[in-house]
Structure 1
Amino acid sequence: MRAFRYFLGAAGVGLLAARPALGQAAEVVARTQPAGPGTEKLFWFGLSTLGLVLLVFLVLFMALLLNLRLVLRKVYALPTVHDTWSGRALGLLVGDARLVTGEYRDELMGHDYDGITEYDNDLPPWWKYGFYLTIVFALVYVGYYHVARSGQLQLAEYETEMRQAARLVSAGPDDPNRLTTYAALSAPADLSAGKALFVTNCAPCHGANAEGKVGPNLTDDYWLHGGEINQVYKTIKFGVASKGMVAWKSKLAGKQILQLASYIKSLQGTKPANAKEPQGEKEAADSKPVAAQ
C-alpha cells in the first residue's frame, strides 16, 4: 500500500509540474496564425515535457506492478478470476500469456502415425477476435453500402470528387471542362458557312465529304470523342493532341466553331463513297436539331 500511495503522490506532483507546459503547448496548437521561431520552440518544449511526464508515469506504473506482483498472483490464482476474460488480461501482468497465445500449446492429441505425432495448438485469441471483427465489419459494410445504399460506392465517390474538383477550376470560355448547351444550327446560311470552313480546314484530314482519311469518318454513327453537338464543338475548339487533332480556338470564333460543328452533324447518314471504316463507339442517331440562333 505504501508503494500505491507513493505512486499516487508522484502522479499528482507530475501533473502539477506538467500543467503549465501542457497549457502552453495546447495554446500554441490552437493558434491559427503562422508560428514564429519562438512559438515553434515553445511547442516542441511542451511536447517534450509531455513525453517526459508520460515516461515518468510509465516507470512508476512498472514499479507499482513489481511491488504488487505477489498480490496480483494471489488474485489471479483465485478460481473465480483465473478462467475469466478479465483474469486472462490480469495474467499478462503476472507472466501468463494465454490471452495472446491461446489455451493449448503443443499438446499431444494421442495420434501417432509411423512415429509422427499430432499436436493441438490453439489459434491465437487475437487472431480469432480479429476474424470475428471482419465478419461484423462485412455485415455492416454490406448493409450500409448495398442494402440501405446510404454510402457511395467507389465509382459514385470518384464522380463526386471529380465534380467537386471541377468547381475549383476556372469555368471561363477557354476551360475545356466548361459545359456548353448549344443546339445545332440549321439555317442554310449557317450550314453554308460551316461547309466553307470544313472544306478549308478539315477536308485535308477528314476528306471532302467527311468520309475520313487520316482523321475518322464523320458521317457514320461512331464517334471517338462523342457525337452530341456540344461534344463535337468541344473537340473542334480544344482539339485532341494525342490523336493529332489540333485546337481551333485560336483560329476560329465561337460562332464559326458552332457553324462547323452543325455542318458536320448535318452530314450524318450521307454515306459518301470510299468511307473509312467506323472508329470509336456507336451512338444513336439523334433527330435533326432546330436552329438555336
Structure 2
Amino acid sequence: MLARPLAAARRFRRVLLLAAGLLAPALAAVAQTVAPEAAAATAAAPAMGVQTVMFWFLLATLGLVLLIFGLLFVLLVIKMKPQLRRLYELPTVHATWSGKVLGLLVGDPVLVVGRDKDELMNHDYDGITEFDNDLPPWWKYGFYFTIVFAVAYMVFYHVTYTGDLQAAEYETEMQQAALLVSADDDDPNKLTTYTALTAGPDLEAGTTLFATNCAACHGTEGEGKVGPNLTDDYWLHGGDINQVYKTIKFGVTSKGMVAWKGKLSGKQMLQVSSYIESLRGTNPPNAKEPQGEKEAPVITAVSH
C-alpha cells in the first residue's frame, strides 16, 4: 500500500529532472532568437544605453523562463494528480504542513480555510449552540501580518525616522512647488508677503483710488452692488491682504472683475487692498448679503 505513493514520488522527481533537461536547450534557443532582436533595437535606438537594453532583455528572458516553468508545473500537477492525491492521503503526510501545501495542489484548501472540528461546546442559550472551531488560517495569517506591519511602520517612521511623516511630506511638497513658481511679477501663482498699510496717507490714497475705480461695483462704502460686499467676513476669493491684492491685480474675468495691473502701480494696488481691509466690520447701510466663505478678520499693525 505504501509502495505505490513512494514510486509515484520517484516518478515525479524523474519527470522534473527530465523537464529541466529538456528546458535547457529551449532556453538557449530562445536566447539565440532574442539576442539579434536586442542588437537591432540597440542599433535603432543609439540614445538608449547598453545597460538599459541589457536590463530589459534580461527581465524579458526571466519572465519567459518563469512562464515556461509555471506552465510545466501546471501540466505536471494535472498529469500526476492521482499519484499526488494518494501521496497526500498517507497519514504521515496528510497532517504535516508540507502535506497541507500538497493538499492545495490536489484540491484540498485546508491550509487556507482550516478544518472544522464540528464539536459542540457546552454553551447553549435559547437553543443556540457554539462549535469549538479554530479561526481560519487565512484570518490568523492576516492578523499576524498586521502585527508585523505595525512594528515595521513604527520602527521606520517613529524610531529610526527613516520615512517622512505627513507634516514633513507637506513641507517637502511645498518646497518643490515653490521651485515651480515663476519669479515674474506677472505670474498669478507667485506668492506675496505684503502686510496691510496702516499709515494715514496710504489709507487716504487707497480711499481715493477706491472711490474712483471700485465704488461703481462695490458701493461707495464697500456695501456691495454688482460686486460683493467688502465689509463682512465672507469672501469669494480670500480676504487676506495678499489674496485681495492678487484679486485686484489679476482680476476675475469670469465674474466681470477687471485686472488692474498696468493701470495701477503695485503701491497703489496695495493701498486699495489696505483700504478694503479697513472696511471690514463697518456695517454700512443697505449692505449686500454675504457671499463666499467666512474668514476670521486678521488684525495687522505692520506697515509696508
Length-normalised TM-score, structure 1: 0.66
> In structure 1, what is the equivalent of residue 104 of structure 2?
92
> In structure 2, what is the equivalent of residue 289 of structure 1?
302
Q: Which amino acid aligns with 2:269?
A: I
Cα deviation, residue 9, structure 1: 1.0
* Match 1:181 to one of 193, 201, 204: 193
> In structure 2, what is the equivalent of residue 114 of structure 1?
none
1:202-232 deviations in Å (ceiling 9; x for gaps): 0012111223333333344554433332222
Change (3 A) 1:245 1:159: farther
User: Partner of 2:270: helix, strand, or coil?
Assistant: helix
Cα deviation, residue 259, structure 1: 2.1
Distance 1:2 1:144 in 2: 47
Distance 2:19 2:191 in 1: 69
Unaligned runs of 5+ in 1: 110-117
> In structure 1, what is the equivalent of residue 207 of structure 2?
195
* Match 1:128 to one of 126, 139, 164: 139
User: Partner of 2:214: helix, strand, or coil?
Assistant: helix
Distance 2:68 2:283 in 1: 87
> In structure 1, what is the equivalent of residue 269 of structure 2?
257
1:224-260 deviations in Å (ceiling 9; x for gaps): 4333322221121122345543322243232221122
Unaligned runs of 5+ in 2: 1-12, 121-128
Is residue 18–residue 53 contact of structure 1 (8 Å, CA) maintained in 2?
no
Is residue 207–residue 275 contact of structure 2 (8 Å, CA) maintained in 1?
yes
Which 10-residue stretch deviates more, 14-23 or 84-93?
14-23
User: Partner of 2:101: helix, strand, or coil?
Assistant: helix
1:33 aligns with 2:47: yes
Aligned length: 273
Cα deviation, residue 91, structure 1: 1.7
Q: Which amino acid aligns with 2:110?
A: R
Cα deviation, residue 23, structure 1: 6.0
Change (3 A) 1:95 1:267: closer
Is residue 240–residue 298 contact of structure 2 (8 Å, CA) maintained in 1?
no
Is residue 113–residue 138 contact of structure 2 (8 Å, CA) maintained in 1?
no
Distance 2:256 2:22 in 1: 77
Length-normalised TM-score, structure 2: 0.64
Change (3 A) 1:263 1:56: closer
User: Partner of 1:234: helix, strand, or coil?
Assistant: helix
1:216 aligns with 2:209: no
Is residue 91–residue 98 contact of structure 1 (8 Å, CA) maintained in 2?
yes
